[in-house]
């Protein structure tokens, strides 16, 4: 399927979704978020895909929601159509592993969409921010919640109240991103990580993601209980038998996703 605002390529078990509105620094217009949700729905159902990389250009991952579309918005319009709930949350709802490979600006909704991914690998020119306050609004797609969980109250308050940008080293130091690499190594690094994930057992990788995400939604006791039950259930899979047999036989496992 051809998209107007995305480039979608597949390599092995990995799919790269590149946000592609260069003239607007990948501002997240309605068409782009709708296409992103459509692409993810297809990938969810694609048996050959085990991991997705979401990326942008070297200058901008995404400079936020499209301000020119937003400026005439009304409460009722947003409430009734809830484009954000409908399309934007598709990244957070995606069940397979998804990595954000961020270069350049990741601002407002751009930072929020990167945070909806499972982890962020940043290029050394990446800049993160929640500058909505400069526009007379506040983050509306998880910025006050996911950023706070990722970096703690002090840094999240600083970012959301001043609207300042955070460069890659600071984002790494406070735990917003998992790694920082040179700009020209960004996609290679992301592909290497995604390739490793895509070669694991798919249901096991999905359950692992689900377990880590549960840490943000529940108490420690409930989270540990959920983890233990998932762990036990993995012993009903062929991939558990294969993974452990391969270790004992000193060979590479061949997972069948069963």
User: Is 132 assigned a catalytic role?
Assistant: yes
Would you count residue 211 as binding ligand DAK (CB under 6 A)?
A: no
Q: Which of 174, 186, 109 is nearest to 143 (CA)?
A: 109
CA distance 147 to 238: 38
Q: Which of 40, 49, 107, 120 binds ligand DAK (CB under 6 A)?
A: 107
Residue number, 97 or 108, with CB nearest to ligand DAK: 108
Active site residue 11: no
Between CA 55 and CA 117 the distance in angstroms is 11
Nearer to ligand DAK, 145 or 240 (CB): 145
d(CA 165, CA 36): 25
| Active-site residue flag, 188 | no
Give the residue, chosen from 8, 14, 49, 65, that forms a contact with ligand DAK under the rule CB under 6 A: 65
141 sits near ligand DAK (criterion: CB under 6 A): yes
DSSP notation for 123-175: ETT-EEE-GGGGGT----SSHHHHHHHHH-HHHHHHHHHH--EEEHHHHHHTT
Minimum CB separation of residue 230 from ligand DAK in Å reads 32
* Cβ atoms of 46 and 84 closer than 8 Å: no
Residues 5, 23 contacting (CB under 8 angstroms): no
Please identify, among the stretches 62-70, 172-180, 232-240, 247-255, the one whose residues bind ligand DAK according to the rule CB under 6 A: 62-70
Residue 86 CB, shortest distance to ligand DAK, in Å, is: 10
Q: Does 56 bind ligand DAK (CB under 6 A)?
A: no
| Catalytic one of 101, 104, 132, 194 | 132
Q: What's the min distance (Å) between Cβ of 114 and ligand DAK?
A: 12
Strand pairing class (98-102; 119-123): parallel
Q: Pick the closest to residue 63 from 108, 126, 17, 120 (CA basis).
A: 108
Query: Is residue 65 flagged as an active site residue?
Result: yes
Among 108, 118, 180, 198, binds ligand DAK (CB under 6 A): 108
Using the 8-state DSSP alphabet, how is residue 8 labeled? E
Smallest distance, Å, CB 100 to ligand DAK?
Answer: 15
DSSP 8-state symbol, 22 = G
Q: Which residues bind ligand DAK (CB under 6 A)?
A: 24-25, 27, 63-68, 70, 78, 84, 105, 107-109, 131-132, 135, 140-141
Catalytic residues: 65, 109, 112, 132
């Amino acid at each position: 399927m051809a998209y107007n605002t995305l480039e979608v390529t597949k390599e092995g078990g990995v799919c790269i979704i590149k946000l592609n509105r260069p003239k607007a620094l990948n501002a997240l217009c309605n068409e782009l978020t709708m296409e992103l949700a459509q692409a993810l729905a297809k990938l969810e159902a694609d048996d050959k895909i085990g991991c997705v990389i979401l990326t942008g250009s070297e200058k901008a991952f995404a400079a936020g929601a499209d301000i020119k579309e937003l400026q005439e918005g009304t409460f009722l319009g947003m409430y009734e159509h809830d484009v954000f709930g409908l399309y934007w949350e598709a990244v957070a709802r995606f069940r397979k592993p998804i990595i954000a490979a961020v270069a350049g600006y990741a601002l407002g909704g751009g930072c929020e969409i990167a945070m909806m991914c499972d982890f962020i690998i940043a290029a050394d020119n990446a800049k993160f921010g929640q500058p909505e306050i400069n526009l007379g609004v506040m983050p509306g797609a998880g910025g006050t919640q996911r950023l706070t969980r990722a970096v703690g109250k002090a840094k999240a308050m600083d970012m959301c109240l001043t609207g300042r940008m955070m460069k890659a080293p600071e984002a790494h130091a406070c735990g917003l991103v998992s790694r920082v690499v040179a700009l020209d190594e960004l996609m290679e690094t992301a592909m290497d990580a995604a390739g490793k994930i895509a070669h694991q057992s798919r249901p096991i990788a999905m359950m692992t993601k689900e377990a880590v995400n549960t840490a943000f939604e529940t108490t420690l006791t409930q989270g540990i209980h959920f983890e233990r039950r998932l762990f036990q259930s993995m012993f009903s899979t062929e991939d558990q038998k294969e993974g452990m047999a391969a270790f004992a036989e000193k060979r590479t496992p061949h997972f069948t996703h069963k």
